[in-house]
Amino acid sequence: MTNKLLDVTKKKLYNQDFHLWLENTVKQIKRGELNLVDWENLLEELESLGKSNQRELKSRLTVLLEHLLKLVYWEEERENNVRGWKGTIIEQRKQIEALLDDSPSLKLLLEESFSTCYANARKITIVKTGLQSNRLPEESPFNLANTLEESYLLD
């Protein structure tokens, strides 16, 4: 099979049956058949996986901060919603912990994006709650350590 035909076949499989493409790619690498590997799509998938983990981590941190803000500042709804907010806080902390267990180097991303995630969480909280913006601090009242700490604000 010519190289050009092989490239077309690889791309066709990738576009028609991703799971089968993935299985074949793994088998080819394990057998050392590196000339058969669809490197272009494999590298694209690897880059995408890394970006996906980063997006998920930032998203979870934003949701966590949003619910911490509700817990601390949305007094009018606290009695009716506190259990749900605390449940979301616990879930987000556990999921962030699992992501960091799998990829400890992502901790640096949390540190770098903390203030941006807080700003986003603040905006979301203002819209969802109807609270006046001056009721929520512009700078985070939480730091990364206590935000991730298992029992912080849950006692």
Same domain, 63 and 131: yes
Of 34-38, 84-88, 131-135, the range with the lowest mean pLDDT is 34-38
118: domain range? 53-148
Whether the model pTM is above 0.75: yes
Same domain, 72 and 135: yes
Same domain, 102 and 27: no
Tell me whether residue 116 is in a domain.
yes
Does pLDDT of 10 surpass 80?
no
Q: What is the DSSP string of the chain?
A: --HHHHHHHHHHHHHH-HHHHHHHHHHHHHTT-GGGS-HHHHHHHHHHHHHHHHHHHHHHHHHHHHHHHHHHH-HHHHHHHHHHHHHHHHHHHHHHHHHHHH-GGGHHHHHHHHHHHHHHHHHHHHHHH---GGGS-SS-SS-HHHHH-TTTTT-
Tell me whether residue 142 is in a domain.
yes
* Per-residue pLDDT band at 3 (split at 50, 70, 90): low
Same domain, 81 and 16: no
Q: What is the pLDDT of residues 41-69, one digit of tens each?
A: 999 999 998 899 999 999 999 999 999 99
Does pLDDT of 5 surpass 60?
no
Same domain, 2 and 57: no
Same domain, 27 and 85: no
Domains held by the chain: number:
2
Same domain, 115 and 85: yes
Does pLDDT of 6 surpass 70?
no
